[in-house]
A and B are shown apart, each in its own frame.
Chain A
Amino acid sequence: NAGVMQNPRHLVRRRGQEARLRCSPMKGHSHVYWYRQLPEEGLKFMVYLQKENIIDESGMPKERFSAEFPKEGPSILRIQQVVRGDSAAYFCASSPVAGAPGSTGELFFGEGSRLTVL
């Protein structure tokens, strides 16, 4: 059973460009979470999604950031018109439905996508 897959692992963008980060959850997981980790800091929650639904986006910046988890395919975190302050590691995590077989409460994390904005 493959873990949470994130790509690209490293992404370099110039200011003003767009960044797209992809996340494929573990097989059987229907919940996806995105977190951002700035250098030497902890993880900040950004958004929580289920298939075709945004459940909680309280951690998402109001502008330039968007996320989706379509019926088919990976979850996408999109950052438009990137600025240097967007440079960070972006982590995706997944979990099964609470109470479902295999649900044990913890989130399973990918290896992260490291965005550098020049």
Chain B
Amino acid sequence: AQSVAQPEDQVNVAEGNPLTVKCTYSVSGNPYLFWYVQYPNRGLQFLLKYITGDNLVKGSYGFEAEFNKSQTSFHLKKPSALVSDSALYFCAVRSDKLIFGTGTRLQVFP
């Protein structure tokens, strides 16, 4: 069965510092991996995806993610965090449907 794990419930970072939100996956075959963001009382917004090709994927709002096959990871990163990045972040893997991780709450402090 395909699954993703987000080991951190919450990540705290100071504004201007780099941020990393971790995700590891378990799939059979080639993974289709995604990151979504959810702001309070809103739906999920797509950030970026890895299907094939370059291991470093660039997405919306300055986010990027690095696909690492040997470590089965797909960590979300941003070089310089903004307070407005504070939200709930979900990693997901797709077969015929999206399977989500449990989410990581990112808190960026001024």
Indicate with 1 or 0, residue by residue over B39-55, a CB within 8 angstroms of chain A CB atoms.
Answer: 00111111001010000
B99 proximal to A (CB < 8 A)? yes
State the Cβ distance, B102 to closest chain A Cβ, in Å. Answer: 4
State the Cβ distance, A21 to closest chain B Cβ, in Å. Answer: 13
Q: Which residue of B lies closest to A104 (CB)?
A: B49
Chain A hits for B49, CB < 8 A: 104-106
Chain A hits for B51, CB < 8 A: 105
Q: In the complex the two chains form, is B43's CB within 8 Å of A45's CB?
A: no
Indicate with 1 or 0, residue by residue over A62-106, a CB within 8 angstroms of chain B CB atoms.
Answer: 000000000000000000000000000001010000000000111
Contact among B44, B46, B94, B99 with A91 in the assembled complex (CB-CB below 8 Å): B44
State A12–B51 Cα separation when bound (angstroms). 40
State A48–B98 Cα separation when bound (angstroms). 10
Chain A hits for B109, CB < 8 A: none
Chain A contact residues: over half helix, strand or loop, or mixed? strand
Q: List 27 A-B contacts (CB under 8 A).
A: A41-B103, A42-B90, A42-B101, A42-B102, A42-B103, A43-B44, A44-B100, A45-B98, A45-B99, A45-B100, A48-B96, A48-B97, A91-B43, A93-B44, A105-B32, A105-B34, A105-B94, A106-B34, A106-B46, A106-B49, A109-B43, A109-B44, A109-B45, A110-B43, A111-B43, A112-B42, A112-B43
Contact among A45, A104, A109, A111 with B97 in the assembled complex (CB-CB below 8 Å): A45
Given A105-B51, A105-B94, A42:B43 Cβ within 8 A: no
- Give residues in A with beta carbon < 8 Å to B: 4, 33, 35, 41-45, 48, 55-56, 91, 93, 104-112, 114
Besides the contacts A4-B43, A44-B100, A45-B99, what 19 more A-B pairs have beta carbons closer than 8 Å? A33-B97, A33-B98, A41-B102, A42-B90, A45-B97, A56-B96, A91-B43, A91-B44, A93-B98, A105-B34, A107-B46, A107-B98, A108-B46, A109-B45, A110-B43, A111-B42, A111-B43, A112-B43, A114-B41
Q: Which residue of B lies closest to A89 (CB)?
A: B41
State A56–B2 Cα separation when bound (angstroms). 15
